[in-house]
Amino acid sequence: MFLRKWIDRRIEDYQSDLLQKYCDEVESMYTKMRGWRHDYHNHIQALQASMALGKYEEVNAYLHQLNDDLTQVDATVKTGRVMIDAILNGKLNIAAQNDIAVNVKARIPEGTPVTDVDLCAIIGNLLDNAIEENRRLPREARFLRIYIGRKNTQFYLAFTNAAGKKREKHRSLFPSSKGAQHGIGLFRVESLVKKYGGLFSADSEDGGFTAELLIPLQSNTPPHSQAN
């Protein structure tokens, strides 16, 4: 009983810290967006001045810079749920800052029973792990592939990221060099997936790590496979 309460308290404290970190990351992203909008009129005036002087090459270069800046703060992934978009794009912004090559296909299918809070915890934990693994590697070796969608009658999520040497499983999960909190993160993902009657699996090999989950969709939607 005491051990169970201790574990529950550790998980609760960890999740509180995690949610605060997610809020800080999302706030940072939207602060950048607000800053860009605030400068919008200044950008227009600078472009108009260059156009009036016939400095068309300068205008073209300026537009390219603006496009690159906007790409960094634009919410490029739209899953169909606002909270999931916020956390996912916040994490992808961090991945971009760390030169991690990312390939994403994400759409929350109709009938997914997982709440926004639980889904944010699942996605946030897995992305934190994936980004941290990539940070340990040379920049040219970093990658992250994300698929969130539907597979037959199941909600399906798969993350694959670059990693170092193969790690051996301890029971159903992998021990981590990051320490207890990292392990609690994977434990939390597995417990949340089981909460919805789903299956969670993780596989480690030299150079890569894959985490997958399947959760039954509610029965009011017809089966249609989207996963390869």
pLDDT digits (tens, 9 = 90+) for 107-145: 999 999 999 889 988 998 899 889 999 999 999 999 999
User: Is 75-216 a CATH 3.30.565.10 domain?
Assistant: yes
- The answer to whether the beta carbons of residues 220 and 111 sit under 8 Å apart is yes
pLDDT at 197: 96
For the residues of 185-223, what is the DSSP string, one character each? HHHHHHHHHHHTT-EEEEEEETTEEEEEEEEEPPTTS--
Q: Give pLDDT tens digits for 8-47.
A: 666 666 566 666 666 666 666 666 666 666 677 677 778 8
Confidence (pLDDT) at 161: 96
* Parallel/antiparallel/unpaired status of strands 143-151 and 154-162: antiparallel
Euclidean distance between CA atoms 196 and 99, whole angstroms? 35
**Run of H or E including 156:** strand 154-162
Six token digits for residue 137? 């590697």
Sheet containing 143-151, strands listed edge to edge, beginning at the edge strand earlier in sequence:
101-106, 143-151, 154-162, 208-216, 199-205
- % of the chain at pLDDT higher than 90: 36
- Say if residues 125 and 84 touch (Cβ distance below 8 Å): no
